[in-house]
Structure formats: C-alpha cells, structure tokens
Structure 1
Amino acid sequence: MACAQVHDYLQTQGLKLSADQVQMAMLAAQSVLTLAQAEIDMSVIWYQENGFSLAEKLSVNTASLHQLQPTELFTANNNSTYTLRQMYLALDSIASRHHNEIFALYLYEPDEITGHLYRLLSRGGSLPAQIYCGQQQVQQYLFVRTATTGWLNQVNNVQHWLSDGSLTGEQAAHSQLAIPVTNAQGQVLGVLYAAHMQPNSISETELIDWTALAIVIPPLLQNLHQAIETSIKR
C-alpha cells in the first residue's frame, strides 16, 4: 500500500525521485512523529496573532491547551496539542537537517469560491496566520498557489520569478518549496512550506524528506479538519 501510495504521489506531482528513498524517508518521519520527545513552549503552538487564535479555530478548550497525553497519532483525534507537538518536532527535524531558516504547515479549507489557509505550525519568517486564497495571494505566496492548484511548487531563485511576473510582492526567502498534503481522493488538506534565505539551496535529499512527510501526515490533518467540522455541527 505504501509503495503504491508513493508512486501515485510522485506521478501526480511529476516528481522524478527514487520511490525507495521516499519510502525510507517516510519511515524516518513516522519514527519522529511517534517517538520524538521534547519540551516546546505551548505559545509556539497555541499562538494568537492579529485577532486569530489557533485554539479557537480548532475548538480546543483553553483548559486543555497544555495537556500532552501520549496517544496513537494516526487513530486518535481528541488530542490536538499532542498531535501538533509531534508534527512540529517532525518539521523541526527535517528543517534542522537541511538548514531551512523558515518552515510552516498550513491547514486548507476550500469554499465555494476559493478557500482559506490557516497556519498550524511555523518557525522563522513573518508568514500570515490566516489568508484568503484569492488571485492576488496566489501571485504572492507560493503556498497559496499550491493550495489552490494541488501542485507542488519549487522556486530555486525567487528573483527570476519576480522578474518574469511569476511571483509578485514581498517574498520571505530566495529558495522556496510548497508541497501539497492530500487525501486519498487527491483533495488538498494542507500545505508544507520550507525556505532558505539563499538561492539554489533546495537539494534532492531535502525534497525527498519534505515529500515523504507530506505523504505521511494526511491522517493527522484529517483529524484536525474533523475537529473543526464537529464543532461547526454543534
């Protein structure tokens, strides 16, 4: 199943990566997600910014914000704090290996027009907490373009993209990578974003690691989406 899943994702995204290496990277990502232990300031996860509260968005009771009860990540959906912490550790692990100055994970909510992105986790840079995915935002933010198209986007030299009009506006970094996190039906659940301040800094090994994480975490984003949907129905 994992092998078929990898081949399907690589083919869909037009990625000429070694499926075996991606599978090995997936195992490493899963190990971090399930086993990693580290202290994290909860304000990093449960941030409030420009009137946006992640806890409110995920309908998490403020009394349970600091509860870190170990759980089975890929089946349980009632411990958002633990889930977000483990995902942060997985992102941080990859970013540390590849010296990414910036990384982020966004949750995508489509609507009848286009949709919104909500920042779940991040480090470095000044990325928006929530963003409407309109045409202007598609032109400025690589992760918005990935959310709305479902396609992986890689920028090796942002100045070239600005020069030819492929991107507009202020940019966070010179090398950028935005990878869609999709469900089995190909619907976008979220976007992984990683960046370097210097151009031409994204290696094939880094692309493999971020791609592997994108293939591993859909169940975790589905759980967070479910938490939001459950709250709306109440």
Structure 2
Amino acid sequence: MKQIKDYLQTQALKLNHDEIAVARAATQTVLAQGRAHIDNAIVQHDGLPEHISNQIDTLKQLFMALDSIYSRQKEIQTATIYAQPENGNLIRVAQIGVPIETELSTHEDSAWQYLAARTAHSGWANIADNVEKWLQIDELRGEHNCRAVSQTSLPICGEDGIVYGVLHIESKVALSENALADWVGLALGVLPVLREWCPRERGEA
C-alpha cells in the first residue's frame, strides 16, 4: 500500500486505495500469466526500439492489461501506454481504441499541444475533465485535442520520481473516481516493465 499512498500523495489525487490495489494486482497477474492469440501487427510498429519490439509476449500482455479496463469502461475512446526511452520522446508501446500519436516529443512546445507530453515533461498527472475549456483558457493548444471531451495523463513513475512512461486516456466523459482508480492501478502495475525497458543512470531524474 505504500507505493499507492506515495503515488496519490505526490500526484495530489484522492482515490480509493483498495480499488487501486485490486487494479494493480490484476495488471500484475496479466503481465505474469496473460496469454492470448493477438496478431503481432496489433502490438508492434516501426517506431518501437528493437529491444522493445522483440519483447512480443510482454507487448501482448500490456495490450491485454489495457483491454481489461477499456472493455469495462464504455465511455473510453482510447487508452495508450507510452514508454520514455533515453532519447526523451514518448513511444507508444500499447494502445487500444481509436488510434492516436505513435511518438511524441516532450519538449516544452509539445507539452502545450499534448497532455501526455506535458506529464512526461513535468512528472505530474494532468486531468482535463473538460478539454474544450482547457482550449479556451489556453491551457491546451491544437485542434486535434477536440477529438475527446476528457483527457487524462498519468505518469508511470516510481518513488524516485523518474518518469518511465505515461498512461494516456481519452474519453467521451470525465472519468469518475472509480474509473480513475482503475487506471492508476494499471499505471502502477506496469511500472516494472517500463523501468526495465527504459533504464536510467543512477541519480538521473
């Protein structure tokens, strides 16, 4: 529970610890034991670094973990796990629903255009319950953001604060607390995989 408590405190989120723990455990079970007949083309793309692209079983398990929540939350349009290798850009490693960007720069200009890039850049969760309003007040820019009513970007990070990736969700409505708890559990559950894929030098933040 300490991992959950630390994450919620750092990200200033008030959610049910038990619901997050259940979602995290379910994600970990899928990553450890999940098996499914998924076409390789669904989980691989040309932009993946070779050392990730070769991990086909784990890529399929990430897809299955996403699907386990996506299939229960009918208002979700798309859910994406981005990894952040050493080059700094976000690379899509799992995605379900409406296709979105495969790679995102995390420089400051991109952070205004893409919520996932902002989360990677800052290390903070970004929850835009009303994207239209965020666009109106210039907290988010770009017509591509009009594709969803709500966007949520959660950092995939550990106690050290290092961001190894981002979980990005776009939906037709603002996420409820219960729905958000499921996604936080998934973000915490996939952390070991992304930490292995995107190692950092000791002391790097």
Q: TM-score scaled by structure 1? A: 0.78
Q: How far apart are residue 85 of structure 1 and its match?
A: 0.8
Match of 1:84 among 59, 63, 67: 59
Q: Give me the identity figure in percent.
A: 35
User: How many residue pairs end up in the alignment?
Assistant: 198
Match of 1:14 among 12, 16, 26: 12
Distance 1:60 1:35, change over 3 A: closer
Q: Equivalents in 2 of 1:211, 1:60: separation in Å? A: 23
Q: Which residue in the other structure is 2:187 paired with?
A: 214
For 1:83-232, list aligned pairs within 5 A.
Answer: 83-99=58-74, 100-109=76-85, 115-169=88-142, 170-171=144-145, 172-196=147-171, 198-200=172-174, 202-226=175-199
Per-residue displacement from partner, 1:39-94 (whole Å, max 9, x unpaired)?
1110111113xxxx31xx13368xxx5xxxxxxxxxxxxxx111111111001111
Q: Equivalents in 1 of 2:17, 2:52: separation in Å? A: 38
Q: How far apart are residue 192 of structure 1 and its match?
A: 0.4
Distance 1:110 1:164, change over 3 A: farther
Higher-RCO chain (CA-CA 8 Å, sequence separation at least 6): 2
Letter in 2 for 1:101: Q
Matched-pair contact (CA < 8 Å) for 2:130–2:149? yes
- Secondary structure of 1:101 counterpart: strand
Q: Equivalents in 2 of 1:106, 1:28: separation in Å? A: 20
What are structure 1's unaligned runs of at least 5 residues? 66-79, 230-234
Match of 1:47 among 45, 48, 66: 45
Letter in 2 for 1:102: T
- What is the root-mean-square deviation of aligned Cα atoms in Å? 2.0
Distance 1:98 1:60, change over 3 A: closer
Q: Equivalents in 2 of 1:101, 1:58: separation in Å? A: 29
Matched-pair contact (CA < 8 Å) for 1:140–1:168? yes
Q: Equivalents in 1 of 2:34, 2:59: separation in Å? A: 12
Bigger Rg, which one: 1
Q: TM-score scaled by structure 2? A: 0.88
Matched-pair contact (CA < 8 Å) for 1:156–1:176? yes
